[in-house]
Amino acid sequence: MKKIFFWSILVLLSLSVAAGVLFAGSGEKPPEEQFITIHWAQWAPADYLEKLSEGFTVETGIKVIVEQTPWETFVQKYNTEMIARSDAWDIIVGDSQDIGNMAVNGHYVELTDWIKKHKVDKTFTPASLTYFAEYPKGSGKYFAVPCEGDALAWAYRMDLFEDPDNKADFKAQFGYELGVPKSWDMLKDIAEFFHDPDNGFYGVAIYGDNGYDSLAMFAEQVIWSFGGELGDYSTYKVDGLLNSKGAIAGIEYYQELFQFTPPGFGDAFFVKCNDTYTAGIVPMTCNYLAFFPALANEATCPYARDTGYFACPPQKGTDGKVRQFAALGGQGASVITYSKKQDLAFKWLEWFIKPDTQMEWALLGGYTCHAETLASDEFLNATPYNPAFKKSMEIFKDWWACPEYDVLLRTFSETIADYVIGDKGTAEEALDKCTQQWESVFKEAGYY
Amino acid sequence: MSSRLKENQGSDMEAHYHSMSDKTLMRLFILPTLVLLISINVFPLFWSLFLSFTKYTAKMTNIWGKNPEMIGIANYARVLTDPEMWVKFITTAKYVIMSVAGEMILGFGFALLLQTKFKGRGFITTLLILPMTMSPVIVGLRWRLFYEPNWGMFNFLLGLGRIDWISDPSRNLYSIVIADVWMWTPFVMLLSLAGLSAVPKYLYEAAEIDRASWWFKFTRITLPMVYPILMLALIFRTIEAFKIFDLPMGITGRGAMAPPLLSMHLYNVSFVTWNTSFGSSIGYIMLIMVLAITLIFVKYLNKAKQ
Amino acid sequence: MKQSVSKKKNIVHFLLIFLICIITFVYLIPLFFIVHTSFKPWVHIRDYPPKILFKPTITSYIRIFTSRTPLPPGRAFSEEEVFNMKWYERLIYKDTNEEIVRKGDFPRRYLNSIIVVIGSTLTTIIIGTLAAYGFSRGKLKGKDDWLFFILTTRMLPPVVVVIPVFLMFRALNLTDTHIGLILLYTAFNVSFAVWVMKGFIDEIPIEYEEAAMVDGYTRFQVFRKIVVPQATTGIAATSVFCFIYAWNEYAFAFILSRKYAQTVPAWLPYQMGVLGYDWGAAAGGTFLFLLPAMIFTIILRKHLVRGITFGAIRK
């Protein structure tokens, strides 16, 4: 017994010494110049943001570092850092569905007053504020400034769609003209038309990965378009909405469309969709708009010149009503509670929301949510995909934003994938199972 | 064998030492190691043992009584009764059996082949062991490209057509097994080579005189002599395959189409949906299983030493 | 009669060697394609059937060392601008229409790997050898139990340990620090080091130490001047194993590091370029990353068996 005591005293002592030494050594490198750090995912818009912020540095002398984390670990990394109350970043450009979690746990500074003072609620599109900035939805409390608007949209091979032979064959087979899809049904017909696995050509490239949110994002837009809902975001009611007829039709549609993807699409996310499209084995692909610059790059995409873009098509739902929806991507910029340079961060935000900055942001390739900029011809003509972006910004809708969104996402992705990708069970079973699980999550969280 | 001798001499030395007893000094020698192991390995384990009896998520702020909140053995009950957890246990077991069996057969086979004497044998052996010194996650990533159905080399070289080895749930467990076997066969081979070279030559010579068949020599001389080392390899590989995490992360990622392996599930539970306490209880069950295999491992480790 | 038997034996011998060469060749195909892919031009990586022969290019290696952004559609550099570019900028611009915006993260991650590996290997060797000596020469009660305990820590699944370690590191501000990773890798390697080093030290005849003690050496002096010099082979073998473990470790690095201390295995798998997965650059990075481990394996060949059996097999 004595020996154990001896050991434990020694262990405790050495532990505390070690901890003390480590704490003393942890604060490193005091910066000479003023700078702020913005954390965002690793992709082109982050590069554009860094370039854009050079203007801010010229104006104020404050340097802006945009730290980029790969998409696969982006959300996990900022969650981990926030839990650790890290001051590594001053601003996070974070995913829209995470805002509830960040707001409830106090990781983000509330921006309601700031947004009203600077009239962001007047100059930015209302939908973007709701989905990127507000929590709880409808409360008028804001925690972010819409930074990068984004949504799922489509790229297609104009050369194939306009080929006279294809047009004639398509008309013979389906009885109407081949062209940019006017409904989800038509989109599926086109996919079926082009699908030719024997010759190594496939109908469509869409998401199949459920590691994070890609599968769920595609699923939600077809659910909405066919007349279903994910649930009521204010009452947390799910039963009767998620397992409604419209939702079932949507998921069934997803499953049918998925049959026309190339092999190996069960883990397809944005990169694979782009890769497959540039490899020239699909006539169209669905992806976030922010990934389209790769398809318009002639050096890496042989079909860049022949690529056209369109927003998600409308669809007549199971109840006969026509709806048009696109799944929201994109991020809002939020100030971190633990940042030691909040004043500088606010300075940057003030500069960022100026109309001039927003226009420059748009022209660089960023996706502004600034209403005036969006409507300008200058923006619409800047890139081939900007018109599709403008349309998408009118029809987008988002996933749950409550703190439990990650559990919801995981269960949804798993159950839906079993049906859509794994061909197990029926759409109804999958959605019923998901409804049950979601309701128990909400019950446990105390919403009802 | 000489430990008793050593101990006697040790007490002589002790007499030489006045300021501090030799025993205390020896303890001080061991101390840094134990301190490190206790603080980095053992202490956290007790922490997670505690957490496994609570409801706790690391994503929210700690409030005692609420997060973590004591819930007894509910987590363990859930692990053991959830049918989907059993799928994970079974998949992991399947994975372990297939990959370890493949490695043992191929590894021992290669070792037998390499008994052939020729110039450059050492060089070939070195080439063959290269895969096992590589980072599993990076190896996994390379295999992912290799397997890619639309432009990868694997299907092309085998003339298979566009078969999906990565995201098809009926097949991707095998693709990880193949990569694992590729990577760790050299391990078994290396151990077997050591075992084979330790078999005394005179046994074979005696058998030769008796005109014993190849099969007789193999089953009566080779196998019994290499047996302890083969067991060592088997158990070590079993432990490692049971814990497998890096390789599937590289090949299939952690999506729901990926094979439901225990450690991947543990990662998803703990760091994707942040159910820290439930993750801890799965972790503890894995831990107990690994410790049980380790116990057998040590037995053979001591046997192989003799 | 005799001649034909030996002839038959020769043929079998030859066939066996041939078989071994074939197996080795097949076995190394995946390795070959890492190097092969790294020299493939961007546009050919997605070709089907895959191109085996092509004009090699080093743009993949430039890409892994740089951070680039594609030019927005419709924008291009003037001829003069292209002329004034550095050679690697021109190569990248022509190959993928990208502009190099800054130095890439790869060198930094590589440096992190080196720092963490050297730091943890040194610490492991120092405290591991001390402990091995203690276990070898000391007559401590419950020695075998302690040794077993030490071994079990090595067998723990990293994913299991990482949850509590994550919580602890968070509380101690150790996430994403070199010290944190060094401590962790040391803790995981030290068990291995103790087992292997104990084997080596057991082999050193105790008589030298005895004689030295009679001459008035203290224990520490004995350890430093007599034991360590005789155990250098063991130290070399152990340190290379520690090196390989820490160099390749993924689970801890992935969860416990983000940027400042992130090592290559935690970083490289997630480098998909903006333009689609950059398989070429990933292959290039892989090749550069695997190189040190391969070199060490070749140097270490003779000690490999002893190391992987935790010192059980002496050969």
Residue B44 to chain C, least CA–CA distance (Å): 5
Percent of chain B surpassing pLDDT 90: 34
Task: Name which of A47, A275, A299 is nearest C277 (Cβ-Cβ).
Answer: A275
Kindly report the CA angle at A318 between A315 and A322, in degrees rounded to 5? 35
Residue C88 to chain B, least CA–CA distance (Å): 26
What is the pLDDT of chain C when averaged over all its residues?
Answer: 86
Q: Find how far residue C5's CA is from the centre of its chain.
A: 48
Please, which pLDDT band fits residue A1 given cuts at 50, 70 and 90? very low
Q: Please state, in angstroms and rounded to a whole number, the distance separating the CA atoms of residues A65 and A91.
A: 10
Does C103 contact chain A (CB < 8 Å)? no
Kindly report the CA angle at B212 between B209 and B217, in degrees rounded to 5? 110
| CB-CB neighbors (< 8 A) of C33 in chain B | 142, 145-146, 153
Nearest to B132 by CA among C82, A241, C161, C297: C297
Does A246 contact chain C (CB < 8 Å)? no
Determine whether the interchain pair C159/B267 forms a contact, defined as Cβ–Cβ distance below 8 Å: yes
Task: Name which of B43, B163, B167 is nearest A265 (Cβ-Cβ).
Answer: B167
Nearest to A332 by CA among A144, A53, A100, A176: A144
Q: What class, spelled out in words, does domain A152-327+402-445 have in CATH?
A: alpha beta
Q: What is the chain A residue with the closest CA to B171? A: A264
pLDDT for res B272 = 83
Average pLDDT over residues A8-36: 51
Judge contact between C240 and C299, C-beta under 8 A: yes
| CB-CB neighbors (< 8 A) of C153 in chain B | 37, 41-42
Q: Find how far residue B21's CA is from the centre of its chain.
A: 40
| CB-CB neighbors (< 8 A) of B34 in chain A | 7, 11
Q: How many CB pairs under 8 A join B and C?
A: 289
C124 versus C160: which is more confidently predicted?
C124
Per DSSP bridges, beta strands A63-69 and A396-397 are: unpaired
Residue C16 to chain A, least CA–CA distance (Å): 39
Please name every residue paired with C193 in a beta bridge, in sequence order, or none if there are none.
Answer: none
Determine whether the interchain pair C101/A69 forms a contact, defined as Cβ–Cβ distance below 8 Å: no
Average pLDDT over residues C166-184: 89
Backbone angles phi, psi at A65, to 5 degrees: -105, 125
Percent of chain A surpassing pLDDT 90: 56
Helix, strand or coil for residue C290? helix
pLDDT for res B20 = 64
Q: What is the chain B residue with the closest CA to C48? A: B151
Q: What class, spelled out in words, does domain A35-150+329-397 have in CATH?
A: alpha beta
Q: Please state, in angstroms and rounded to a whole number, the distance separating the CA atoms of residues C45 and C66.
A: 20
Chains linked to A by 3 or more Cβ pairs within 8 Å:
B, C
Determine whether the interchain pair C157/B29 forms a contact, defined as Cβ–Cβ distance below 8 Å: no
Using CB atoms and an 8 Å cut-off, which of residues 80-139 of chain A contact chain C? 80-81, 83-84, 88
C286 versus C73: which is more confidently predicted?
C286
Judge contact between B175 and B181, C-beta under 8 A: no
Each residue's pLDDT tens digit, A208-251: 888 788 899 999 999 999 999 999 988 999 999 999 999 999 99
pLDDT for res C105 = 85
Using CB atoms and an 8 Å cut-off, which of residues 150-169 of chain C contact chain B? 150-153, 155-168
Each residue's pLDDT tens digit, A82-133: 877 888 899 999 988 889 989 988 999 999 999 999 999 899 988 889 889 9
Chains linked to C by 3 or more Cβ pairs within 8 Å:
A, B
Amino acid at B32: P
Output the six-digit token pair for A104: 């409830």
Task: Name which of B38, B59, B253 is nearest A267 (Cβ-Cβ).
Answer: B253
B265 versus B27: which is more confidently predicted?
B265
Each residue's pLDDT tens digit, C54-87: 889 999 999 999 888 888 777 788 888 888 888 9
Q: What is the chain B residue with the closest CA to C298? A: B126
Q: Find how far residue C139's CA is from the centre of its chain.
A: 36
Please report, for chain A, the start and end positions of each structural domain, with discontinuous segments joined by +: 35-150+329-397, 152-327+402-445
Task: Name which of B7, B286, B294 is nearest C151 (Cβ-Cβ).
Answer: B294
Determine whether the interchain pair C164/B48 forms a contact, defined as Cβ–Cβ distance below 8 Å: yes
Q: How many CB pairs under 8 A join A and C?
A: 104
Using CB atoms and an 8 Å cut-off, which of residues 347-406 of chain A contact chain C? 364-365, 382-384
User: Residue A323: which H helix or E strand, with range?
Assistant: strand A322-323
Q: Please state, in angstroms and rounded to a whole number, the distance separating the CA atoms of residues C67 and C151.
A: 43
Q: Please state, in angstroms and rounded to a whole number, the distance separating the CA atoms of residues B107 and B190.
A: 8
Count CB-CB contacts under 10 A for residue B15. 9
Judge contact between C305 and B191, C-beta under 8 A: yes
Please report, for chain B, the start and end positions of each structural domain, with discontinuous segments joined by +: 3-45, 79-305
Taking every pair of C-alpha atoms in chain B, what is the biggest distance, in angstroms?
79
Nearest to C315 by CA among B195, A108, A336: B195
Average pLDDT over residues A51-55: 91
Amino acid at A244: S
User: Residue B13: which H helix or E strand, with range?
Assistant: helix B3-16
* Res A364 pLDDT > 60: yes
CATH topology of domain B79-305: MetI-like fold (1.10.3720)
Backbone angles phi, psi at A372, to 5 degrees: -65, -45
B102-106, B287-291, C164-168, C310-314: which has the minimum mean pLDDT? C310-314
Dihedral angle, C-alpha A19, A24, A27, A29, nearest 10 °: -140
pLDDT for res C313 = 66
Q: Please state, in angstroms and rounded to a whole number, the distance separating the CA atoms of residues A193 and A432.
A: 33
Residue A277 to chain C, least CA–CA distance (Å): 10
Q: Please state, in angstroms and rounded to a whole number, the distance separating the CA atoms of residues A211 and A417.
A: 11
Determine whether the interchain pair B130/C194 forms a contact, defined as Cβ–Cβ distance below 8 Å: no
Mutate to test the interface with A, among B34, B257, B274, B278 (most CBs of A within 10 A): B257
* Length of chain B in terms of residues written: 306
Average pLDDT over residues A269-286: 92
* Res A11 pLDDT > 80: no
Does C174 contact chain B (CB < 8 Å)? no
Residue C6 to chain A, least CA–CA distance (Å): 54
Determine whether the interchain pair A263/B61 forms a contact, defined as Cβ–Cβ distance below 8 Å: no
Percent of chain C surpassing pLDDT 70: 96
* Length of chain C in terms of residues written: 315
Output the six-digit token pair for C122: 């040194």
* Res A298 pLDDT > 80: yes
Determine whether the interchain pair B243/C19 forms a contact, defined as Cβ–Cβ distance below 8 Å: no
Nearest to A441 by CA among A230, A265, A253: A230
Please, which pLDDT band fits residue B306 given cuts at 50, 70 and 90? low
Each residue's pLDDT tens digit, A207-220: 988 878 889 999 99
| CB-CB neighbors (< 8 A) of C179 in chain A | 22, 25
Contacts with C173 (C-beta within 8 Å, 6 or more apart), sequence order:
A22, A23, A26, A84
Q: What is the chain A residue with the closest CA to B249? A: A211
Percent of chain B surpassing pLDDT 70: 92
pLDDT for res A293 = 87
A305 versus A5: which is more confidently predicted?
A305
pLDDT for res B225 = 85
| CB-CB neighbors (< 8 A) of C119 in chain A | none
Task: Name which of C48, C95, C179 is nearest A25 (Cβ-Cβ).
Answer: C179
Task: Name which of C16, C140, C297 is nearest B113 (Cβ-Cβ).
Answer: C16
What is the pLDDT of chain B when averaged over all its residues?
Answer: 85
pLDDT for res C24 = 93
* Res B12 pLDDT > 70: no
pLDDT for res A16 = 45
What is the pLDDT of chain A when averaged over all its residues?
Answer: 88
ipTM, 2 decimals?
Answer: 0.87
| CB-CB neighbors (< 8 A) of B162 in chain A | 197, 200, 262-264
Dihedral angle, C-alpha A258, A260, A266, A267, nearest 10 °: -110
Judge contact between C269 and B137, C-beta under 8 A: yes
Please name every residue paired with A201 in a beta bridge, in sequence order, or none if there are none.
Answer: A196
Percent of chain A surpassing pLDDT 70: 93
Residue B90 to chain A, least CA–CA distance (Å): 19
| CB-CB neighbors (< 8 A) of C74 in chain A | 383
* Res A52 pLDDT > 60: yes
Nearest to A155 by CA among A255, A301, A48: A301
pTM for the complete prediction?
A: 0.86
DSSP letter at A196 equals B
Does B87 contact chain C (CB < 8 Å)? no
DSSP letter at C179 equals H
Phi-psi region of A333 (alpha: psi -120 to 50; beta: other; left: phi over 0): beta
DSSP letter at B61 equals P
Task: Name which of C166, C173, C271 is nearest A26 (Cβ-Cβ).
Answer: C173
Count CB-CB contacts under 10 A for residue B186. 27
Instruction: Establish whether the linkage from the previous residue to A136 is cis, with ω within 30° of 0.
Output: yes
Helix, strand or coil for residue B79? helix
Q: Find how far residue C82's CA is from the centre of its chain.
A: 40
pLDDT for res C176 = 86
Residue A197 burial (10 A CB sphere; 0-12, 13-18, 19+) = middle
pLDDT for res A212 = 80
Residue C295 to chain B, least CA–CA distance (Å): 9
A102-106, B275-279, C93-97, C110-114: which has the minimum mean pLDDT? C93-97
pLDDT for res A8 = 47
Q: What is the chain C residue with the closest CA to B21? A: C219
pLDDT for res A222 = 94
Task: Name which of C24, C34, C248 is nearest B136 (Cβ-Cβ).
Answer: C248
